[in-house]
Amino acid sequence: MAITAVEELNILHSTQLIIKEALGKMGYSEEMYELLKEPLRVLSVRIPIRMDNGEYRVFQGFRAQHNDAVGPTKGGVRFHPNVTEDEVKALSIWMSLKCGIVDLPYGGGKGGIICDPREMSKGELERLSRGYVRAISQIVGPTKDIPAPDVMTNAQIMAWMMDEYSRIREFDSPGFITGKPIVLGGSQGRESATAKGVTIMIDQALKAKGIPLHKARIVIQGFGNAGSYLAKFMHDSGASVIGISDVYGALYDPNGLDIDDLLSRRDAFGTVTKLFPNTISNRQLLEQDCDILVPAAIENQITMDNADRIRAKIIVEAANGPTTMEATRFLTAREVLIIPDVLASAGGVVVSYFEWVQNNQGYYWSLEQVDSKLKEVMVKAFENVYNVHISRKVDMRLAAYMTGIRKMAEAVKYRGWI
């Protein structure tokens, strides 16, 4: 299926193409594709906020709910200047796929606000967070749609959102949102869950390739929440982290980086490279020789423009959509094992589900229990996707989409929607 470069870089369009192919491979009808190719509902909101200087700014926000045939929708809220409605739609579909892959009773949701939190005060961020909840309060809730942290949002922002929702509903609602501080009903292990899930995927991928973990050389693009935790987990496991990056550049040392020192220097947004003079570009970092490359930053980082220069044996996608469809096919043909984002980064939603369950029960688990349950879920998910990859002779991304979309398609059929 030939596609143009512009189409390939549009994440909603490229997601729809893979969904169409996955449903076709499994024998579902064109009507099923027509239902699942777009979210069932998308809310666009305008949020007026008083800034610290007394002036008012109006922020644009979105909330997309892809499909609730399986259960309530679930997905993060991102604060970023480049948020678009198409991006939020695509990410809600990816959340549906993630939930299907790890067998959770959820559909996918996603939210976003066009803003730059790096240029806002704590008070402005709190007012924006509360304003967003007021704007979307009619379509979210513990049994409707459960938000969570995403790009440039954190436990504090989740706490403000939970408090605002509880005020609106006039009762305490910890199950409305996940990724909260522990003291407000958050789960042990939630903050590092995405990175812990990626760590489990790396371990499974290395076993599939026959590479011992202690001999693995790892490059991580991105040093935010997922990237920094992952670097620490890999370093402590005995692997050699030879490259990391942030928005300002990248650090590379074939003999391994001092991860503990870098973690002590990074700021709240994961910035550390500007403290060092000898940096390389993010693009150059992607092309370094390594065993495992982990794109943990933003989408469309590995394309047909640079795929022929990628020298990793394994790519584990901690970011959303870092590798385009054509690059995936090209690298798979070169026997590069790609663990796609909808599988690799599913640890976050798994532990968000654990948090929601704990909130509903009023009974909370230890970190050891959370980690044990997460590993069980993630290993099973990897095995299911890898088996489809081998048995159906499709790339890992298509295998993941086939695995992830099946549960939702079957729920749609049983409900009689299609």
Domains of the chain: 39-174 (3.40.50.10860), 193-345 (3.40.50.720)
Give the pLDDT of residue 37. 96
pLDDT beyond 50 at 342: yes
Q: Are strands 107-114 and 56-65 parallel, antiparallel or unpaired?
A: antiparallel
How confident is residue 6, by pLDDT bands cut at 50, 70 and 90?
Answer: very low
Give CA–CA dist 379/206, Å, rounded. Answer: 13
pLDDT band at 276 (very low <50, low <70, confident <90, very high): confident
Give the separation between CA 220 and CA 315, rounded to whole angstroms: 10
Q: Is the pLDDT of residue 5 over 60?
A: no
- pLDDT score of 33: 97
Distance CA 268, CA 237 (A): 25
pLDDT, average across residues 153-164: 96
Tokens 């402005």 -> residue: 124
pLDDT digits (tens, 9 = 90+) for 40-49: 999 999 999 9
**Where residue 399 falls among pLDDT bands split at 50, 70, 90?**
very high
pLDDT exceeds 80 at position 7: no
Reference 104, options 403, 407, 318; nearest CA is: 407
Residue 25 one-letter amino acid: K
Pair 37, 66: CB distance under 8 Å = no
What's the confidence (pLDDT) of residue 2?
A: 40
Work out the average pLDDT over 279-283: 89
Q: Is the pLDDT of residue 221 over 50?
A: yes
Q: Would you say residue 12 has pLDDT above 70?
A: yes
Pinpoint the alpha helices (H) of 55-192.
85-101, 122-136, 155-169
- Max Cα separation, the chain? 62
Q: Tokens 């009762």 — which residue?
A: 171
Question: Judging by DSSP bridges, how do beta strands 107-114 and 145-146 pair with one another?
Answer: unpaired
Predicted confidence at residue 4, as pLDDT, reads 42
Distance CA 406, CA 409 (A): 5
Residue tagged active-site, from 37, 110, 180, 407: 110
User: Whole-angstrom Cα distance, residue 68 to residue 111?
Assistant: 16
Among 9-18, 48-57, 143-152, where is mean pLDDT lowest? 9-18
**Residues 81/115, Cβ–Cβ less than 8 Å:** yes
Helix (H/G/I), strand (E/B), else coil: 39: coil
Cα distance between residue 334 and residue 403, in whole Å = 24
Q: At 184, is the pLDDT very low, low, confident or very high (cuts 50, 70, 90)? A: very high
pLDDT at 316 over 90: yes
d(CA 287, CA 290): 9
Phi, psi of 185 (to 5 degrees): 100, 15
| Residue pLDDT, tens place only, 59-83 | 999 999 999 999 999 999 999 999 9
Confidence of residue 274 (pLDDT cuts 50, 70, 90): confident
Given this model, what pLDDT does residue 344 score?
Answer: 95
In this structure, are residues 113 and 44 in contact, taking their beta carbons and an 8 Å threshold? no
Q: Is 93's pLDDT higher than 90?
A: yes
Task: Please give the Cα distance from 137 to 129 (Å, whole number).
Answer: 12
380 is catalytic: no
Per-residue pLDDT at 40: 97
Instruction: State the average pLDDT over residues 327-347.
Output: 93
Residues paired with residue 36 on neighbouring β-strands, in sequence order: none
- CA-nearest of 230, 18, 44, 29 to 135 is 44
pLDDT class of 394 with cuts at 50, 70, 90: very high
Is 280 exposed, middle or buried, given 0-12, 13-18 or 19+ CB atoms closer than 10 A?
middle
What is residue 348's three-state secondary structure? helix
Count other Cβ atoms within 10 Å, centred on residue 368.
Answer: 10
Q: What is the mean pLDDT of the chain?
A: 93
Given a cut of 90, whether residue 382 has pLDDT beyond it is yes
